Amino acid sequence: MSASVNSLINRPILASIHSHAFQHNLNRVRELAPESKIWSVIKARAYGHCFEAALKGLESTDGFALLDIQDAVWLRENDWEGRILLLEGLFHESEMDLSQQLHCDLVVHCEAQIEWLERYADKVHKPISVFLKMNTGMNRLGLKPAAYRTAFHRLHAAGYRMHHMTHFANADQIDRQPTVDSQLELFNQTIEGLEAPTSLANSAAILWHRNALGDWVRPGIMLYGASPTGLYSDIEHAHLKAVMQLQSEIIDIQDLQAGDRIGYGGRYEASENMRIGIVACGYADGYPRQAKDGAPVWVGDDSKAGGGIICPIVGRVSMDMLSVDLRNAPNAKIGSIVELWGDQVPVDEVARMSDTIGYELLCAVAPRVPVVIK
Ligand SMILES: Cc1ncc(COP(=O)(O)O)c(C=O)c1O
């Protein structure tokens, strides 16, 4: 039997987080946006990679951008002394004191938040940076251009260090409205004459809209080595590396006769005699139940050092297991290592075969999957 993916526990499943890949991807962002500072976006437990791993792998970032003030507490408790941006600002006025203690930068996207900051202005003892968010067409968060300049002046007058910010709706698409160019034009018109650093670009803009970077870029998905468009080819082209490797093992093998069916619903019917590997990974681990027949996994081959081959999944993914067609892998046996996604199997490919995006799969890795930081 091959070395187990996880010798510490009985069930062989493991998410390995590769710090060197984090560093590599962060360096790629620096090469693509050499004039900009970097907010590394680590919301949703660092897109499912866990905060410990992000802190270790991305320690040379200029700042971390996240959602929940409790995650900022965690970063400070773990000796992060650099900048922290609360990406949606405060959710309650009562968080003002804590955010100041933690020395967080704040996104401000609505009138209520402006009023909280104005009321707090007398209690500010260290300058607080505000990233005032403009809604330039995405219509999610942010002040409409007509209200933006007044808001900027109010917060500036209250003593806050001002920055301009917006978010692109379609940096990963060419022909969808609003386009990056239309959002950028509105943004630039609105901030004319209001001197302050800017923050604009998410991963897709960093990769494909170099005219729209701003002074602070905000990469998320590209730091994790996955694609904003869902096309693995663009990630390969950008020389990004997968940070997470999700692995399991074959725990049983079934020999099927032509006409036999596999798993719940019998979705897949064997067209000939074939071997099926049963892998200890299911939707309760975060593998998508919607995965279609043909979604790729990589099956290790002990007879070739580091060798292995891509095989397709067949039949419906169940809670704790999935089934793999082993016709490509005659040497596969119980204990063979299987990569669900990582270096060999782009998470974007699994996402494509499951009608979703890599973001969702990475964020959804279940708490029951042990994580090791390498
Ligand atoms: C405001 C903001 N900036 C940046 C990002 C990072 O986006 P991406 O992961 O596509 O790079 C996000 C993520 O959704 C976001 O909400």
Distance 175 CA to ligand 1 centre (A): 20
User: What's the CA gap between 212 and 249, in Å, rounded?
Assistant: 44
User: What's the CA gap between 357 and 230, in Å, rounded?
Assistant: 6
pLDDT tens for residues 260-296? Answer: 999 999 999 999 999 999 999 999 999 999 999 999 9
Distance 215 CA to ligand 1 centre (A): 16
Q: Tell me, rounded to whole angstroms, the distance of Cα 28 from its chain centroid.
A: 16
Preceding omega of 367 cis (within 30 degrees of 0) = no
pLDDT tens for residues 42-52? Answer: 999 999 999 99
Q: Could you confirm whether 43 is annotated as catalytic?
A: yes
pTM: 0.94
pLDDT tens for residues 160-216? Answer: 999 999 999 888 887 888 998 899 999 999 999 999 999 999 999 999 898 999 999
Tokens coding 119 = 């009321």
Atom of ligand 1 nearest to the CA of 165: 1
pLDDT tens for residues 298-348? Answer: 999 988 777 999 999 999 999 999 999 999 999 999 999 999 999 999 999
* pLDDT at position 1: 37
